[in-house]
Structure 1
Amino acid sequence: MSSQNEMKIILVHGAGHGAWCWYKVVAMLRSQGYSVTAVDLAACGSDPRRIPEDVSNFDEYSQPLMDLMASVGEGEKVVLVGHSFGGFSLAAAMDAFPDKIAVAVFVAAFLPDTVHSPTYILEQHFEQLPDKYNDVEVKAAVVPGKSEPFIISRPHSKVLATTFYQNCSFEDLTLGNIMVRPELDFQEDLRNRAAFSKERYGSVDKVIIVCGEDAILTVDFQHWMIKNNTVKEVMEIKEADHMAMLSKPKELCQCLTKIIKNYAK
């Protein structure tokens, strides 16, 4: 087995999802001999905690990834892959552990810069594409001890079918409808944070995988984020919807193996 195959790949899901959504990619990469871990962030996937009762801030939400990164041995490097809202957790890990990351791969993911507060990218998305959130179900959740209610959301079946999973199989859409959990965008928390640092986050090589038929993070918005940042390379999967790991897993794996070959040295 080559040293490239031995390098660990860590997969980070988007909001409301979990490690489960990477099942096709995990299987394909492991069948080729790669070491792959898909992590459940807090209150996601099989993690028993709930948003916002048990997990109400971004640090709590991202802690499983930070713990996993902390366990990486000195002198070792990983390939970090994030999807959608997972781009923010990716950025936090890059800021905390830049020397442990060979390359960070953003798959149709939010891509923070090193100038603005992290929430700037979210605000721009809401401003540029306000209609994308018209049909997302939102509700207020009151948590004892907290003065203000939390606004949580969950895309209902129609939104998942037309905006997230439109190129996926009916089976994977059904899986999404069963598994997707309530989500919190932690806007207030992220708004009060300084920008991710140029010296740490900015020092890690970034590769962007654009999903050509993404109906939520549109191609235009993905390219706007790229222009707003410094990236090493841009790749594209033309017929991938937002859930590229489900709609185009083979093509995504081809991109990832190419990235590993080029950057994991």
Structure 2
Amino acid sequence: YKAKFNKTLAEIEDHFSKYRISDALMAIYKLVWDDYSSWLLEIVKPAYQSPIDKTTYDAVIQIFEENLKLLHPFMPFLTEEVWQHIAERSPEEALVVAQWPTLQDVSEELIEGFNFASDVISGVRTIRKEKNIPMKETLELSVLNDGGISKDWDVVIAKLTNVSNITYIEAALDGALTFRVKSNEYFVPIHGAIDVEAEITKLQGELKYTKGFLASVRKKLSNERFVSNAPAQVIALERQKEADAIAKIETLEKSLASLG
């Protein structure tokens, strides 16, 4: 989170320097709501009815105080009230006179690793949502790690998806639901958790739609007039759509094959 905080801080200071106040506020909002509330607090949250350890608690409060400093120019009275309730403070320690956070080095590698992990977490959660699998039901997760992604984030992925085990495999897993994150493919064995026939019907419909979408993109790209006149970024976007559709079709076909 500190890496994301410092990256956002640099963006905020750039916005302030150009008087883009609304952009600075939106950057703060996304940092506090998405990265702090939705991700960090979920990661550090202890198990049900278990206390949080003091080291983690103190670190989270310190981070929260840094967030308050960013919010203070936009919400001076509310943030000051919260600041005074966190700890007993003298007038000299008021938030209004507190030092603005100091910009530190940003680890892009760390941020990239977390972004990848969050996509994996979202993939598992999507499967749970679509198949009505409750969070309390433990799942297993297998990975074809074609991208050579580090295992450092596996503990976070397991905690936030209630996965009992993350296994690295060499070949596709039969009888499992799948999703992709970049070049990695992930498999969630169903073990009777879903209606297989209904899932096959759904996947066939999705496959038919994706093939139709791919055909429409390829038709556009085969139009010499379109390719000659369209801006380069538009052509690049269409080629990306083509590549994404091809990858999705491959995943859907593998899912259908695994379900029989």
TM over 0.5: no
TM-score by length of 2: 0.26
Between structures 1 and 2, the one with greater helix share: 2
Between structures 1 and 2, the one with greater strand share: 1
